[in-house]
Amino acid sequence: MNIVSNAVSYAPEHSTITIVIVNGKQDLLLNVRDDGPGFSEEALRHGTEWLYQGDHSRSDSSHHGMGLTAAAAIIERNQGQLTLENQSQGGASVTISLPIRSGKIS
């Protein structure tokens, strides 16, 4: 939910947020993309660090820099990976990859 909430917070009003889920043979992939400004270079390096807040001018005080950190920790605990990227056409892209074992997500 945090990843989708971040996309809504950072994307311009009336823009598109795309959620793609791919059930592969070995991994389940969840990708959330938005039409916002994308991640800064600093956010790409530090976005999953404890208490990191990329946009200090954001007026929404409900964000405290813990959401992506918590998401990354949960994903990594399940042998998965969280990847932050910028799309070539603009906007942010967050991908979660979780391994599938015996037909089930671990």
Give residue 94's pLDDT: 95
Considering the entire predicted model, what is its pTM? 0.78
The backbone region for 101, taken as left when phi is positive above 0, alpha when psi lies in -120 to 50, beta otherwise, is beta
Q: How far apart are CA 29 and CA 60, in angstroms?
A: 29
Give residue 68's pLDDT: 84
Which residues make beta-bridge pairs with 82?
A: 96
Q: First CA to last CA across the chain, in angstroms?
A: 19
Return all residues near 51 (Cβ < 8 A) that are at least 6 apart.
64, 65, 66, 69
pLDDT digits (tens, 9 = 90+) for 19-52: 999 998 899 999 999 998 898 898 888 878 765 5
pLDDT digits (tens, 9 = 90+) for 5-27: 888 888 889 999 999 999 988 99
Place of tokens 């954001």: 58
